[in-house]
């Protein structure tokens, strides 16, 4: 009976699916050289469309992924690569920005790859892209 119970438990364990969500986290070693507490922007490098892209800002408050001209040109995107995107955006300084369109590209962070719709804008930014975080 005990053996039968153990086999039932093993079968049940094999059927359970566990969803593992990767988290972006930092250790105390990562704080070395920073002044705490801080509210600095999180700027990272991501692999976008098969290229390592520097100066990507992670904005927890962003409702959209945005691509700026440097990245658009660097990826050799053309107007034909864009689909229509009609809704205007509001920039950090409160100005209305009319998007050129949008494009869907893969983003890779470590082994995780996801397809993301980027809204392409022709506006100045110190960043190459902005990605939101749910």
Q: Sorting pLDDT into bands at 50, 70 and 90, what band is 24?
A: low
Mean pLDDT of all residues belonging to the chain = 81
Q: Would you say residue 121 lies in a domain?
A: yes
- CATH number for 74: 2.40.70.10
pLDDT tens digits, 65-103: 999 999 999 999 998 999 999 899 887 788 898 999 999
- Residue 4's pLDDT band (cuts 50, 70, 90): very low
* Within-domain flag for 54: yes
How many structural domains is the chain composed of?
1
Domain region containing 71: 39-132
pLDDT at 132: 83
- Could you tell me if 59 and 125 are in contact, meaning their C-beta atoms sit under 8 angstroms apart? no
**Is residue 61 one of the residues assigned to a domain?**
yes
3-class state of residue 52 by DSSP: strand
Please report the sign of the dihedral spanned by the C-alpha atoms of residue 86, residue 108, residue 21, residue 34. Answer: negative
C-alpha–C-alpha distance, residues 53 and 70, integer Å? 10
For the full predicted model, state whether its pTM sits above 0.75: no
Q: What's the confidence (pLDDT) of residue 33?
A: 81
Conformation bin of residue 14: beta by default, left when phi > 0, alpha when psi is -120 to 50: alpha
């Amino acid at each position: 009976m005990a053996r039968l119970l153990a086999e039932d438990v093993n079968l049940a364990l094999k059927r359970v699916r566990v969803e593992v969500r990767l988290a972006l986290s930092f250790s105390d070693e990562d704080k070395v050289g920073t002044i705490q507490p801080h509210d600095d922007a999180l700027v990272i490098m991501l692999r976008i469309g098969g290229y390592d892209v520097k100066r990507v800002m992670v904005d927890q408050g962003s409702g959209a992924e945005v691509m700026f001209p440097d990245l658009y040109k660097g990826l050799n995107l053309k107007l034909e690569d864009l689909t229509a995107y009609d809704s205007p955006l509001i920039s950090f300084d409160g100005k209305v920005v009319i998007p050129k369109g949008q494009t869907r590209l893969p983003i890779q962070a470590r082994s995780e790859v996801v397809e993301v719709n980027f809204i392409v804008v022709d506006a100045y930014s110190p960043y190459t892209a902005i990605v939101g975080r749910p």
